[in-house]
Structures are given as C-alpha cells and as structure tokens.
Amino acid sequence: MASNKTKDYYEEFRKELRDETRAAAYLEAALEGGDPQVFLLALRNVALAQGGINAK
C-alpha cells in the first residue's frame, strides 16, 4: 500500500501532466534519452493523466 506522500506525489505529477505544454516537454525529454522503454512509460503517464486512452 502506498503512503500518503507517494499518493500526493503521484497526484501532483498527474496534475502537471494534464497541462499540454508540460506533457509535451516531459515526452520530449523522455524521447531524447534514447531508451524506448522510458518513452513508453512517459507516454503511459501522460495518457493516464489525460484521462486514459478512452478519454474524449
């Protein structure tokens, strides 16, 4: 079970990724690293923050 500090961190992280400019910068930084797994994780984080793949 996650602690309150961890939950608070993830909630704040998701709030930041809801902003399109911040999400784009986050994805660009992940892509620049050159590791496809890191980029896919970043993409997942942005998708979840934006409401998931079924969001309209």
What is the pLDDT confidence band of residue 52, given thresholds at 50, 70 and 90? confident
| pTM score, whole prediction | 0.76
Domain ranges of the chain: 4-49
CA-to-CA distance for 6 and 11, rounded, in angstroms?
A: 9
Please give the pLDDT value at position 54: 72
Please give the pLDDT value at position 5: 66
Alpha helices by DSSP H, listed for 1-56, are 4-17, 20-32, 36-49
Please give the pLDDT value at position 4: 66
Residue 1 has pLDDT above 80, yes or no: no
